[in-house]
A = this chain, B = another copy of it.
Amino acid sequence: MRTGVCYFPEHWPRERWETDVEQMAEAGLEYVRMAEFSWAVLEPERGEFDVEWLDEAIELIGDHGMQAVLCTPTATPPKWLVDERPEIRQEEPDGTVREHGSRRHYCFNSAAYREETERIVTKLTERYADNPHVAGWQTDNEFGCHRTVRCYCDDCAAAFREWLAEKYGSIEALNEAWGNTFWSQRYTSFEEVDPPGPTPAEHHPSRLLDYARFSSDSVVDYNRLQVDLLNEANPDWFVTHNFMGRFPTLDAYAVSEDLDLVSWDSYPTGFVQDRLEGEPTSDQLRAGDPDQLGIDHDLYRAALDRPFWVMEQQPGDVNWPPHCPQPGEGAMRLWAHHATAHGADAVLYFRWRRCLEGQEQYHAGLRKQDGSPDRGYHDASQAGAELAAIEDADHVDAPVALLFDYDNLWALDEQPHAPDFDYWSLLDAFYGALRARGVQVDVVHPKTDLAGYDAVVAPALHLVTDGLANRLTDYVETGGELLFGPRTGVKDEYNKLRPAPQPGPLADLVGASVDQHESVPAHLETRVRRADGDETYGFRTWAEWLEADAATPLLEYDTGGVEAGRTAVVENDVREGTVVYCGVWPDADLADALVRPLLERADVPYCDRLPEGLRVGERGDYTWVTNFSSDRFGLDPDADVEWLLGDAAVGAYDVAIADGRIVDGLSVERLE
């Protein structure tokens, strides 16, 4: 339950530092992140190091009772280094080289850059291994930002071939696994396999999926190089990396396996503009979307099943979204509480002071450019004090797992089969329904042990191995409650269709199979009706026509068209548990109509359907109520509640904390 900030002392005169650090301490900040992007300051010319400034800054921070979190500066190799070793630069598929002048202009597979990385990281670890004020390290910064996970240079081509040879053993095995008979794509040796460059038509989906995996693995390897150096120097400091929001090309689960702590960078009012479907509402522009943030909190928490950090928390207006409205009053405080409710143990604001130079001059800090307090400083101070007053909460214990993984993301991104099919958005549909019922969710990889979960939701579990099918079957047979979304069980792990009808190896479990699938534009009729009643619900984008075998039809298509009367959703009782397969992309009402009985069956406590923007989170013995809207809401819990912060009337962008769990039976009304 701590707060912190990112600080760039190298941007400010030495004589200002004391003032800055004092003001940090006054705000109750406990962690100060530094040295990010500072390579050219640390090593202005090859072999000439200047680290005294960092020594001093760390000392000052320690003197004020705070701790330093250091970053390896590898996201920004200086120009002298790039000019000496130009082969470190990334290449686009068409051979265009990504040059110096911004950041992340290096290739993860460059042997030269790995050498340079080892050199600078070693220099820093040697310097600070024994420094008592250094709590831990962040490797690099936001791996993959600016579309840099996938590179197409010669180093990558060679590494890809090695990766493939390692994976498949023989070229015949690769040809077979990918299915290269199609369009004469068979190879005679691994040497023939290139990164996917410019082609007249689309690429082979199996080749693309392996290039996505290889590229992500390259980052995992590169990160591990740094982690090993850091761990070797001092096994006690923590090592983390700051991931990004809704980030598509890097497997955060895989990177996390080498980390002690997972952290991520949260920019709520930017994310609603550049990575959420649809036009953001006024409230979203002012405070972000709690479920969009929540799904990432829950993913990064689940990655190590351990409290996470928000390594960069939006401090006010930022520079990169299309529009940059001022956050609503109190939003910067709200976000810290919301993250904590989802399991964060620390929230560090980015950055201390608006920078006078470079690409981020239009990015606010906790302090304005003149050093005076900005809106975020007040919010951060208040949040810090309030969070410090809460006794340490336990790790979030979520009763429901949402299955998510990057292989499925990559496979579906390659073949969305509809311009409006987006895997994240489909996840949102199910996640949002759970969160609107006050339920805590772990966003986990399908390989996770599911035994501890009362219910599991798996939207678009596109690639399914026999092993996974068996594990899910076991889960249900031993009493698990499972809900599948559309596009589940379509392919094998190589992104090839199975000969068996969808959902392939899950067909027995589901008790039904898919007769047809289709993607549909918004102006076609898209309604389903209860098989045993009159209620209808909307869907969008995707429709599967199910043929029930053992299963019972729950919903059928209710249109004038070719799908009329066919089955859209089925339910199947399997020994101790139940599985529901939903063949459409549900709207919010339909998602709720699927989720609520799931929770009932799983005996998971839930509340009345919450209004948009209001979310409730239980962590340990506390319940956080966070209001991301400009409306005021009144809470009506089932039992008496002691409010540790706020009360049952929660204003715009405000927070309340109850002592105890209050979700079960809670209802909420909008106040005038």
Contact = CB atoms under 8 A, between A and B. Distances in A.
Interface stretch (A186-194, A391-399, A655-663): A186-194
A235 B198 CA distance: 40
A200 B102 contact: yes
Contacts of A359: 182-183, 201-205
A516 B202 contact: no
A105 B203 CA distance: 12
Nearest to A196: B101
A39 interface: yes
Given A37-B182, A94-B96, A178-B357, A199 B561 contact: no
A633 to B, nearest CB: 17
A317 interface: yes
Interface stretch (A259-267, A463-471, A491-499): A491-499
A500 to B, nearest CB: 6
A77 B200 CA distance: 13
A288 to B, nearest CB: 14
A90 B198 CA distance: 11
A597 interface: no
Contacts of A98: 198-200
A324 B196 CA distance: 26
A201 B102 contact: yes
Nearest to A495: B361
A203 B103 CA distance: 9
A44 interface: yes
B357 A179 contact: yes
Nearest to A178: B357
A319 B202 CA distance: 12
Interface string A546-577: 00000000000000111100000000000000
| Shortest beta-carbon contacts, A-B, top 3 | A179-B357, A182-B358, A40-B184
Given A322-B419, A369-B499, 12 more contacts: A78-B184, A94-B96, A98-B199, A179-B356, A203-B359, A282-B523, A323-B418, A326-B562, A328-B562, A329-B562, A354-B497, A361-B491
Interface of A: 10-11, 37-41, 44-45, 73, 76-80, 83, 90, 92, 94-105, 145-148, 178-188, 192, 194, 196-207, 279, 282, 285-286, 316-317, 319, 322-329, 354-362, 368-371, 375, 415, 417-419, 491, 496-501, 516-521, 523-525, 545, 560-563, 630
